[in-house]
Structure 1
Amino acid sequence: MPKPAQGGEWDNWAMSIHLHTEEEIQGMRVVGQLTGRLLDYLTPFVQPGITTNELDRLAETYTTEVLGAISAPLNYQPPGHAPYPKSICTSINHQVCHGIPNDKPLKKGDIVNIDVTLIKDGWHGDSSRMFIVGDASIAAKRLCALTYEALWLGIEQVRPGAHLGDIGHAIQSFAERHGLSVVREFCGHGIGRKFHDEPQVLHYGRPGTLERLEAGMIFTIEPMLNAGRRDIKELGDGWTIVTKDRSLSAQWEHTILVTPTGYEVLTQSEGAPPPPAFVRGFAASTA
C-alpha cells in the first residue's frame, strides 16, 4: 500500500530515517518471506470467474491460520480516511492502487494488482504483483512487463552512497522512453515497525538528489505506471485511485534492504517472478 507523496502524514512519520540493526533486519527478513509466500499462495487462484472478495478471504485465512501473521491493511486508518475494510488491495485495469475487493468476478483479459502487507512480531512486509487473468491484450502484457522492468531498474540503483533520486530517475527515464507515464502522487516508503515511515521513495526525479542511502535502511519501491496520462483521481469509496483517462495502470512492489555492498530483496519468494535478465547484483532473503 503506497504512501501519498503529497498531502497528509501517515503514521506520524519520524523525522529521521531508521537504520536497522542485524537483529531487526532478521525480523524483517522473516516477515518479508511470509509476505512473498502469501502472494505465491494466491497466484493459482487468480483465474477468470473468481471474485476479489474471494481472494481477500483466502488471503486473510492463509495469513492468520497458516502464516501466523496479521493483515496490516485490514482496518488501517490513516488521517482523513475511513478504515480500510479488507485484508488486501486489488486494483483492476485502470485502477492504480488501493482497489477494494468486491463481488464482481474477474474476467479474461483483466490485469489485476494484488498488494499485501503482513505484520509478524511487530514487523511489516509489503509487496505487490501484477496478474494477467487468463489472457490479455498485447498492450496490457507490455505494460505489466515494462513496469516490472522499471521496478528492477530502480532496485538496481540501491547501494550505500547512492541517492533516492537515482532510483526515481532510473524508473522515470525508462518509463517515459517507452511511452508510459509515472504516477507522482504516491510513492514508496520506509517500513519496519511502522507500516509507513521515512524515507519517501519517489518514482521520478533527478540523479544525485534527495537522501543518501546507508546500510540498514529498509524501504519499498513500488512504481505505478500508466499506459496513458499520469493524471489520477479518487473514487467515492475514499480509497480506490484510478487513471483519469481510464488508461491501464500497473504496479509492482518489493521491500528492499540496503546492505553494506548493495541491496537485498526481502520479499522475493520462491514463487515470485525472477528478476529480469539485466539484473546482476541480485540477492534475496533466505529467512
Structure 2
Amino acid sequence: MKHSSSPLSPGTHTITVPHDTAHVEQRYHVAGSGPVCIAHSGGPGIGWEYLRMPALERSLTMVYIEPVGTGASGRLPDPQDYSVTTYARLLHHLVEHLALPEVILLGHSHGGFVAQQYALDHPGRLAAMVLYDTSPVADEQFWSAAVAAMQRFVDRHVDDHPEVAGYVAALTARLDLLDDDGTTAILRKIMPAYLFDYWGREEEFAPARQSLRMYAAPTRGQGTPFDVRDALPGITTPALVLAGRQDFICGPRWAHLLHEAMPAAELSILDDTGHLGHIERPAQFSAAVLAFLRGQGVLGSRQNP
C-alpha cells in the first residue's frame, strides 16, 4: 500500500470513516490525471476491479472506491446496515477527504443508485455525474423485468450453450444465504448474460470473468426497495445517462426514465452492448463520457479522447 500526504497520489489509500458510533476503514484507488472522477462499482458487493477504466484514466484522475463490505475495506458490524443511504454517506466522507469543491461522480449499476442518492443529498459537491447502466428504481417490477429478460437470453442461447439453462435460477438465488465464494461463483456463472457477445469474444472476456469477485455481506442489507423516481426532477446536476442497448438488467427502459425526469440529463445508448460497456466498447464508452464532460466545461478540449 502506498502512503502519501496527498489524498490523490496514485495508488491505494485507506481512510477511516465514522459509521453510527463506530468507525470503518474505507479503501480507494487512484489512477490517471486530470479532473477528479469518483467511480462507484455495482452489486452491492461486487469488487471494484472490474470497473477499472484505463481509457478514462488518460483524461481523468479516476478514484475507484473499494466499497465497504468488499475487498480490503472494512465491514459494517450489522449487515442490515448495507443500504444505498449508507453507501451515499460513506461516499460523502471520501469526497470530504479529497478536499475538492466539486467532483465528477460515476456510478455503475447499484453504484448508480448511490450516485443518485448522493446527488439528492449533496448536489453542491458535484460538477457532473455519469449514471451508467442503472435505474431510478429497483422494485418488484424491475426485478420481474430482469428475470424475464434473462429467460429470453436463455431461450436464445441454450441450444448452443446448455449451461445457460441454470441462469434464471442463479439470478434469483438468495445471495444473502451464501458466503463470498458462493456469491462469486454465481456472478461468474451468469457473467455472459451481462455482455452482448460473450461467446464471440470469449478469449478476450474469459480472464475478466475469472477475476470477478462478489462479497456476501452487502447482499444482506435491509430496507425499502430503492425508488427515487419522484425525486428525480430535483436532481439538477448535469448528468450523462449511459446504457447498453442489450443490457438485460439496466437497459434503455430504465435509462429513459432517468433521462426524461432529470432536467439536466443527456442520454447515450451504446449499440451491441450489454451491462459492461467500458469492457465491451471501451472506445465508444469513453468517447461518450468525455464528450459529455467537455460539453459541460468540466474537461478541457485538449484532453485525450
Q: Please indicate, yes or no, whether the TM-score normalized by the shorter chain is above 0.5.
A: no
Query: TM (normalized to structure 1)?
Result: 0.28
Q: Flag the structure with larger Rg.
A: 2
More helix by share: 2
More strand by share: 1
